[in-house]
Amino acid sequence: MGRVFIDFFESLGNTVLILMRWFLQITPVGVCFMIAGSVVDVDDVAATFQGLGLFMATVLVALAIHMLLQMVVYALASFRNPFRLMLMGFRVFLLTFITTSP
């Protein structure tokens, strides 16, 4: 009886992972069309891209500060090499950058 319960939730977890992977793969296409629709409606394209560039720069700086602080806290708390943490967490940091939206 217990094994059926465990198998059910493992299958449910795998299903959620498959759906999330599919969603993350299709998201860039949707974002591209959303941006294209916004660009078509804008009169001043230069100001729009300037604002978008400023937003991207702000996000990159914020993520860099977050990563730096996290590495410092990790080094102080564990007395280990923080660059190892950066290598292990690169996919997570990349995911946070990809999923950031205005």
* pLDDT category of residue 89 using cuts at 50, 70 and 90: confident
* Dist. CA 3–CA 12, nearest whole Å: 14
What single letter denotes the amino acid at residue 15?
T
pLDDT of 100: 64
Q: 59 with 97: CB under 8 angstroms? A: yes
pLDDT tens string 24-59: 899 988 888 988 887 788 888 788 889 989 998 998
What burial class does residue 100 get, using C-beta atoms within 10 Å of its C-beta: 0-12 exposed, 13-18 middle, 19+ buried? middle
* Dist. CA 42–CA 48, nearest whole Å: 8
Q: In angstroms, what CA-CA distances link 64 with 18, 61, 91?
A: 30, 5, 14
* pLDDT category of residue 102 using cuts at 50, 70 and 90: very low
pLDDT of 78: 92
pLDDT tens string 6-29: 999 999 999 999 999 999 899 988
Does pTM top 0.75 for this prediction? no
Question: What single-letter DSSP state applies at residue 89?
Answer: T
Q: In angstroms, what CA-CA distances link 18 with 14, 21, 28, 98?
A: 6, 5, 17, 18
